[in-house]
């Protein structure tokens, strides 16, 4: 394959997901903003993590994939103490066996009010 296909409309120069063959690359998802422009789950790691997984769920569905197709996720959090709550929420969405996972603590995300961002890679077999 010499190129890729973006499955979702996004902001200029941004794709939420890119499909290259059987591999789906998911851009980092955050909790986003509500209609009033406020960060969803402001200050609440559980609410933000749920919003992130709901966003990933929608993106996966748009590419005809599910959480079961994830092979790797990378979690970026602004505090180490968020790891347990993020893991608890993750277990509600991602089936066993879980994908390979990396957890990193960063000083800030794109918006200082975002507490967590998750990106992933999924692999799906070509449909017959």
- Per-residue pLDDT at 32 exceeds 60: yes
Looking at residue 14, its pLDDT comes to: 74
Looking at residue 15, its pLDDT comes to: 87
Residue 116 structure tokens: 């967590």
Looking at residue 128, its pLDDT comes to: 42
Class of domain 5-123: alpha beta
Domain spans of the chain?
5-123
pTM: 0.89
- Per-residue pLDDT at 120 exceeds 60: yes
- Per-residue pLDDT at 45 exceeds 80: yes
Other Cβ atoms closer than 10 A to 73: 21
> Sign of dihedral through CA atoms 104, 90, 70, 108?
negative
> What's the pLDDT band for 1 if we cut at 50, 70, 90?
very low
């Amino acid at each position: 394959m010499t190129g890729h296909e973006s499955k979702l409309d996004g902001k200029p120069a941004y794709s939420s997901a890119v499909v290259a063959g059987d591999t789906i690359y998911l851009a980092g998802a955050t909790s986003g903003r509500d209609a009033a422009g406020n960060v969803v789950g402001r200050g609440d790691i559980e609410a933000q993590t749920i919003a992130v997984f709901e966003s990933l769920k929608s993106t996966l569905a748009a590419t005809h994939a599910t959480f079961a197709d994830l092979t790797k996720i990378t979690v970026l959090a602004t505090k180490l103490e968020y790891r347990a709550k993020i893991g608890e929420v993750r277990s509600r969405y991602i089936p066993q066996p879980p994908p390979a996972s990396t957890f990193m603590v960063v000083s800030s995300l794109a918006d200082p009010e975002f507490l967590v961002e998750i990106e992933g890679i999924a692999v799906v077999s070509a449909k017959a």
